[in-house]
Amino acid sequence: MHNTVFIFLLTTSVLIFISLAWAGIVSLQEKEKRAASRFFTLALLLPIPFLLVSFFEFPYQMPAGIILLVLTYGSAIVLAAPSGKKRLFTKPVTSTQIDERDTMFSRNELIPGTDAFKAYYKRKPEHKKVDDNFRAKAGLLQPGTSQYNPVAFASADTSFATIEALRDRVNGPVNKQKTETVLEDISQYIKNWSKKLGAINCGITELKSYHIYSVGGRKERRDKPVVNKHKYAIAFTVEMSKEMLSAAPAASVVMESGQQYLASGVIALQVAAFIRNLGYEARAHIDGNYEVVCPLVARDAGLGEIGRMGLLMTPKLGPRVRISVVTTNIPLAMDEPLNDYSVTGFCTLCKKCADACPSQAISFAPQEDINGVKRWQINQEACFTLWCTLGTDCGRCISVCPYAHPDNLLHNIVRTGIKNSSAFRKAALHLDDYFYGRKPVPAPLPEWVNTKQS
């Protein structure tokens, strides 16, 4: 065999072994035992053909070695090369606003027998039967649910109670002495400071009518038209723990939801108060007191795209984030939407969240034209009814999403390939199923969460 071919075969076998063994070590660190086992197995098996061709003489040894190398590197080139149609995005132009009263959280607040209850179901009688169904369940964070854990649920309830205590702080008096700011500088300052406060990312967009609820649906805002004259919206994302979500739909997922709703809300409250101190109007939009649809604001602010499960899909964490927003009239430099077709392209192929959804609330169908915008629509009634059965906010769709893997070199290589190549997207989906499972078994509760009760 020619020395050059021999060296290439040997080098390739070493590279394959090192790459797969490294991926196995990363998987062990992530507590992904199935993936680690398969990476280590492949690290031992895949170099074998290269070693056999290198060290054992047989007829046509040289052509066999060349064919093996061509297949290996040719496949790598095909997967790495930019490919697929780059479908153009069009910014949503719908003027349709969402009525917050139709959201499940608002409908959950309705008390049977009250005037608000009677008025809503007179206006929307088609919702009465499905809503009676979720009301017949034990409810979020309640005893009698399938995932009931008194200690973990008490922790989650504490986070939500703290958010509730802060709901009146979303707005406040504006300093009469206005500080003149430079638009680019103050925008960058807000982004840097929000990250210092704990945000993973921050983006700015023009506030559009479809960002704003038409009518309020929660507590004192119920039945009141939403009036927000601010020009700009600032969106913040915070990370949800992969470990806490991996046990979904167990109690750790609702603990993490509560904690990160609170964390994102505290960032928004501080940024809004800071802007008011500078002499400009600003309102924070936090859990339970939103005037805006946060995922739509965050998408237009360049923080991600809306995926099959209806959640914001961010570039490095997928849907494993919580969002808060500040609307304001301080002049700001706006960010451009990502307009990243690779996300919806992958979601179109993947359907892993739909397969794993216990309530079958996530559509397997292609995107539909809804109010002038191509998107997916989840069955929010089925989803929320399951929550009331589990006692948690489920989170299975987030936990199984291939985009939700940790933000590290291994998974970022895959994310880059998905963004770059349609061929890579198809391969990545099959490999994710192979290494992690099409319907991954939920991880056990983190040991410290699984407190024994007497």
Task: Answer for the pair 353, 397: CB distance below 8 angstroms, yes or no.
Answer: yes
Q: What is the per-residue pLDDT across 221-266, written as a single tens digit (0 to 9) for each?
A: 999 999 999 999 999 999 999 999 999 999 999 999 999 999 999 9
Residue 84's pLDDT is what? 67
Does 319 lie in the same domain as 229? yes
Does 195 lie in the same domain as 311? yes
Q: What is the per-residue pLDDT across 159-213, written as a single tens digit (0 to 9) for each?
A: 999 999 999 999 999 999 999 999 999 999 999 999 999 999 999 999 999 999 9
Residue 94's pLDDT is what? 64
Does 76 lie in the same domain as 114? no
Instruction: Establish if 435 belongs to a structural domain.
Output: no
Does 137 lie in the same domain as 45? no
| Rounded Cα distance, 82 and 77, in Å | 9
Does 59 lie in the same domain as 200? no
- The reported pTM is 0.94
Task: Answer for the pair 418, 342: CB distance below 8 angstroms, yes or no.
Answer: yes
Range of the structural domain that residue 56 is part of? 3-80
Residue (of 207, 197, 329, 167) closest to 270 by Cα position: 197
Does 211 lie in the same domain as 117? yes
Backbone angles phi, psi at 446, to 5 degrees: -50, 140
Burial of 293 from C-beta contacts in 10 A (0-12 / 13-18 / 19+):
buried
Angle separating helix axes 409-420 and 422-436, nearest 10 degrees: 140
For the chain, what is the domain count? 2
Residue 87's pLDDT is what? 54
